[in-house]
Amino acid sequence: MKKYISFILISLSLAVFTQGCYSPNLNEEPFACGGDHGNGECPDGYNCYGGLCLESAPSCYVDDQFFGEIGGSADKDFEPNNTPNQAYTMTCGGIPEQDTSCPNRYGGEFTYKNLTICSTGDIDIYKVYLINGETFSVTMRIDSNNLANNLDIILFKETIDADGNKTWNTNNPDAFSYSTRDVDELTYLATNNGWHFLMVFGADISYLNRYTLEWFFESPNQTK
Ligand SMILES: [Ca+2]
Ligand SMILES: [Ca+2]
């Protein structure tokens, strides 16, 4: 686990350093795709699969069973999302007073189905803006018939220094779930106003699986 987290951190810093653009000079793979959600961009000869620029599609992309049900708001619409800069804002996870697409932040549970970690090294990062004192609860379910390919989740926040530089403390997440069962759950009580990042990743870099996300918010004055 530690070794893999280190890999993720190296990948994140490379990707952040290059602003999500592919650089052949770095001579290391995989590279994060550029472009927008649902519109990943790669250099000639490469295509975006699971947020990574690859020369050919990973097996899960050509397996109809795996992707057969995906459509609408699903994994391919949220990719590329392999770096915090590319994180997809979850439903009702925007800055509350600016999030006009959110009818009621505290109105119940939100769900994304048909998500996947597809291609070795794919990680999925989503973001939510949390208010100090607010609680954010997440459930991530993987395919119960594929427990050998275990996925896990961590939550970490963004820090912005006086020069406007962003850093993410993935090394020491604010919340995490490393369950080996088919369900991972975490609940986090926000201690500041700011962007927080949910990362889904394989417990081993080679682990590929489909997953779903369910989440809800509780306001600072709500009690359990
Ligand atoms: Ca994915
Ligand atoms: Ca991804």
Structural domain includes residue 190:
yes
Structural domain includes residue 21:
no
Q: How far is CA 42 from CA 5, 52, 125, in A?
A: 25, 8, 19
Cα of 52 vs centre of ligand 1, distance in Å, is 9
Asked whether residue 21 carries a pLDDT value surpassing 60, the answer given is: no
Reported as a single tens digit per residue, the pLDDT across 157-196 is: 998 899 999 999 888 899 999 999 999 999 999 999 999 9
Mean pLDDT (the chain) is: 83
Structural domain includes residue 213:
yes
**Which listed ligand is nearest to 199 at the C-alpha?**
2
**Which listed ligand is nearest to 87 at the C-alpha?**
2
Structural domain includes residue 24:
no
Cα of 223 vs centre of ligand 1, distance in Å, is 34
**Which listed ligand is nearest to 51 at the C-alpha?**
2
Cα of 118 vs centre of ligand 2, distance in Å, is 8
CATH number of the domain within which 68 lies: 2.60.120.380
Cα of 163 vs centre of ligand 1, distance in Å, is 32
Cα of 66 vs centre of ligand 2, distance in Å, is 16
Domain range for 94 is 60-218
pLDDT band at 20; cut points 50, 70, 90: very low
Note the pTM of the prediction, 2 decimals.
0.83
Structural domain includes residue 29:
no
**Ranges of H-type helices in the chain:** 2-17, 59-62, 64-67, 75-78
Structurally, how many domains does the chain consist of? 1
Structural domain includes residue 35:
no
Structural domain includes residue 189:
yes
pLDDT band at 22; cut points 50, 70, 90: very low
Reported as a single tens digit per residue, the pLDDT across 89-117 is: 999 999 999 998 898 999 899 998 888 99
**Which listed ligand is nearest to 82 at the C-alpha?**
2
Biggest CA–CA distance in the chain, Å, is 54
Reported as a single tens digit per residue, the pLDDT across 75-85 is: 878 889 999 99
pLDDT given at position 187: 98
Cα of 221 vs centre of ligand 2, distance in Å, is 34
pLDDT given at position 4: 54
**Cα(44)–Cα(113) distance, rounded to whole angstroms?**
32
pLDDT above 90: percentage of residues in the chain: 48
Structural domain includes residue 83:
yes
Cα of 114 vs centre of ligand 1, distance in Å, is 10
Long-range pairs for 70-78: beta carbons < 8 A, 24 or more residues apart: 70/114, 70/116, 71/114, 73/112, 74/112, 74/113, 74/114, 74/115, 75/50, 75/114, 75/115, 75/116, 75/118, 75/124, 76/38, 77/37, 77/38, 78/37, 78/38, 78/112, 78/115, 78/124, 78/126
Cα of 60 vs centre of ligand 2, distance in Å, is 14
